[in-house]
Each structure stands twice: as structure tokens, then as C-alpha cells.
Amino acid sequence: MNSLREVIASCLTDYDPAALPVASAQTIINGFVQPVVAMQTVPVQQALGRVLAAELISPLNVPAHDNSAMDGYALRADDLIAHAASAHAPCRLQQIGRALAGKPFNGELQPGQCVRVMTGAVLPTGADTVVPQELCLAPSDAENGQWVEIAAALTRGDNVRYAGEDLVRGKPVLARGRNLQPADLGLIASLGIGSVPVFRQVRVAHFSTGDEIASIGQPLAPGQVYDSNRYCLHGMLARLGVQTIDMGVIADDPAALRSALTAAATHADVVITTGGVSVGEADFIRSLMAQLGEVAFWKIAMRPGRPMAFGRIGESLFFGLPGNPVAVMVTFYQFVREALLRLSGQTERLQVPLLRVPSRVALRKRPGRTEYQRAVLSHDDALGWSVSLTGQQGSGVLRSMSAANCLLVLEHERGDVACGDLVSVQLFDGLV
Ligand code: AMP
Ligand code: MG
């Protein structure tokens, strides 16, 4: 395993720990992550959000047979072509049977014949095209059988779904490193596969630090605040599908912090703490880390979230996040999220999409740091989708995070924003 110094040296030529750009911090962290390798097999229903540990190859063609995409009549396109050349009246075909989904027609179509088919029915032998029932004149019970009149112009293959159109036997379906989504569960099931190999879940131990931090259930002494960071972290970690070990609140006491950090590192792949990473009198994490592990302290060129520690305690990755609740969430989203996904073995969809939308407000911004404002992306007929701020932006104001549905990102080099200028946003939520 490379040392922190080697990783930093290989990532950066102009490393400045006093004002590290966000992108540089992300590069260093990524250089440090060693994805888990252990795997387990889980039933499809438990595979949502888990990371596929081996490429999935299709054992079948899906669909297994050519079949009808519509309720209608299966026919031979040659009959329509021959008819169009010889007459102007609608083409009349003799209906010789029916095929339903799961109940195929057993005969073979001869010239001039058609078969009634329902959506999903196997295409009868000899047929190559389906005409939707809406484009036929009602079948009439004439002479020797049922006759269907087709007035539509059709191209060979219309309304037919071909065998293997969805998945081809022997071909890869899903890549190793894929975070399994709802559609993937259906795809796996459509192959008749009941369980899949996934990487083991990453274990994350976390605790809050601070003499002033009280836990729920305790009375608040003067000057104390209830711990909110642990609950934000719980929510963000749960969404990422990692296993969490909640170690509570640890006082600003070097001995207690030391034993908590050591215990956390023996049980978890990742240790996350909040608070105690600035340079105040009770900020002990810095001196402890020098003894316990290999840790870089950074002042990141960002707002909020300037002070942050990152490194290793034993075999575990360590993130010492700031204390202010908004800063915790912003640094988690920008640094911890991607590291945990990579650690979980995920190789796709690692970056959060940045949308570009007009700002409804003018913003002051000086180049040289990345700013994250709590914002609301909303829609109206005049402006379309646009973004505005949630109000008070202090890094302790968690309500601004709760009221937001996105972060407005003002990039490192960006200057002031005028009303109507395009800005970047990171959405908090996906479709489900
Ligand atoms: P620190 O970096 O430890 O000085 O903390 C910065 C600010 O964040 C202080 O106002 C702390 O009271 C506050 N803070 C730290 N940890 C928490 C927490 N777990 N919940 C709520 N506020 C916190
Ligand atoms: Mg503190």
C-alpha cells in the first residue's frame, strides 16, 4: 500500500495543504481507495443498491421467440405487396386460427392467410408482420371462414418483437462494478436468475465529538446542543447502502478519543468523525492522528467545509469532517460519497451529475474556492427550470439544508453571478 505522501506526490505537483482545491482533494482520496474484494451471493430481491461482483452473461435469448407487439393479425408481408400491385380494394386475408400469449398457433401460414394474435403471442410460422386490429376492418364471417380486410400500409417486420431483441444468449448483460438498480433486478429476473454475486458491504464506524454535544434523551445543560451530525450521517450512509456502526458522542478528551478511534478502526473499513478538526483548544483530532495513523490535514479551498482531515488509521480510511452540520453534509457529498462508492467496488455512475440552469438571484463569489449554496430548483412557465437560494446560508443552519433540494455549485474559478446566468446544481434526489 502506498503511503499518503506518495499518493499525494503522484497526484499533485503543486500541493498546498493550506488551500487545497476540491478537485485535488478528490484526486488524492481516490488514489487511496482500495475497493473491497470479498463477495457474497444474495437473492435478487436483496440485491438493490448492491454492487455486482462478476459480469453477468445471459444464459437465454430474451424474448425467447419472435412475438407480436400488438393485438392484431399476423400475416405475410408478401401478400400485401402482391395485393397492392394488383388492386386498389383492401387486401382480404383468411383467418385460420388464433395465438395468445403463452398459447402458440401450431400450424403454418400459407399465402392469403392470417392468424389472430394477442400481444406477446409467439409469431406463427410463416408470418413476418403484424397488423394492429385498429387498422383492420372488422372480420366478417363469410363463405368458408373468417376474412380480415387490411387497409393499412405496412412494412415487413412491423409490430414484431424479435427473439434476443432485449438480451442475447452468451452476451454480457451487466458489468462487474454495477450498482444494481430497479431495472437491473427485472433484467436479472427476466433471465430466470434468482441470485447474484455482489461485493460485501463496506462497514463505516462514525462518532460525533465535542463536550457541548448532547445525545437525544439527555437534558441540555447550558451551552449544549443536541447532536445532529450523527443523524445526518446515518441518513446519508444508509442511502449509500453501507453498514454503519454508530459510536455515539465522544467528549473532547484525548484518551477517550484515542480509544474510540482505535476501536473504530479495528471494526470498520472507514472511520468518520465530525468536529474537533480545527485549531481550537479542544480540537484534539490533529495531535491524536499524528500518533495513530497517517493523516493529512487540509484547509480545503471551499465553503462551507474548510478544515478537514483525511488519511488512514491502521487499515481503515479516516475522514475527519468539520463540526458544523451543513459543512458535514457538504463535505460528505463532495468527498466521502464517491470514496465509499469506489470502496464498495462500484465503477459506474461515480460522479454526481451537474445540471446547468439559470440563477434567479445575483451572487457574490470570489475566484479561488468552490462554494456550495443550499438551493431550490423549481419550475415555472416563464423561466422553465431555475434555481434560487434557501435563505440564510450559515454553515450551522441545518434548516437551509432541509429546505433545499439541491446544492448550487460555484466552481473554483467562478466570479460573481448575475441574475439569469447559468450555474451548476447537484440534485439531492434521483427518480426513486
Ligand atoms: P468544532 O469544529 O468541533 O469546533 O465544531 C464547530 C461547530 O459545530 C460548533 O459550533 C459545534 O457546536 C458544532 N457541532 C459540532 N458537532 C456537532 C454535532 N454533532 N451536532 C451539532 N452541532 C455540532
Ligand atoms: Mg468541537
Q: Is 331 in the pocket of ligand 1 (CB under 6 A)?
A: no
Neighbours of 89 (CB within 10 A): 9
Q: Is the pLDDT confidence value at 6 over 80?
A: no
pLDDT band per the 50, 70, 90 thresholds, residue 297? confident
pLDDT at residue 236 is higher than 70? yes
pLDDT in tens, 328-339: 999 999 999 999
Q: What share of the chain is helix, strand, coil (3-state, %, to 5)?
A: 25, 35, 45
Selected from 3.40.350.10, 3.40.50.1260, 3.30.565.10, 3.90.105.10, the CATH number assigned to the domain covering 40-62+165-199 reads: 3.90.105.10
Which residue among 274, 283, 326 is best mutated to probe the pocket of ligand 1, counting the most ligand atoms within 8 A of its Cβ? 274
The residue ranges of every structural domain in the chain are 4-36+201-343, 40-62+165-199, 67-161, 354-427
Question: Ligand 1, closest atom to CA 228?
Answer: 20
Mean pLDDT, rounded, of the chain: 92
CB atoms within 10 A of CB 402: 10
Superfamily of domain 354-427, CATH level 4: MoeA, C-terminal, domain IV (2.40.340.10)
Please work out whether the CB of residue 276 comes within 6 Å of at least one atom of ligand 1. Answer: yes
Tell me: the pLDDT tens digits for 418-430? 999 999 999 998 7
Q: Under DSSP, is residue 429 helix (H, G, I), strand (E, B) or coil?
A: coil
- Residue from 209, 215, 218, 225 to probe ligand 1 pocket by mutation (most atoms less than 8 Å from CB): 225
Q: What is the pLDDT of residues 299-354, one digit of tens each?
A: 999 999 888 999 999 999 999 999 999 999 999 999 999 999 999 999 999 999 99
Confidence of residue 82 (pLDDT cuts 50, 70, 90): confident
Buried-state track 103-130, b at ≥16 Cβ within 10 A, e below 16: ebbeeebeeebbbbbbbbbbbbebbbbb
Domains 4-36+201-343 and 354-427 share a fold: no
- On whether the CB atoms of residues 198 and 55 are closer than 8 A, the answer is no
Q: Using the atom order of ligand 1, give the atom closest to the CA of residue 280.
A: 4
Tell me the ligand closest to 213's alpha carbon. Answer: 1
CATH code given to domain 67-161 = 2.170.190.11
Q: How far apart are CA 271 and CA 340, in angstroms?
A: 11
Neighbours of 345 (CB within 10 A): 23
**Which fold does the domain 4-36+201-343 belong to in CATH?**
Molybdenum Cofactor Biosythetic Enzyme; Chain A (3.40.980)
In this predicted model, which residue has the larger pLDDT, 431 or 357?
357
Kindly tell me if the per-residue pLDDT of 2 is higher than 70: no
Output the nine-digit C-alpha cell for 303: 465553503
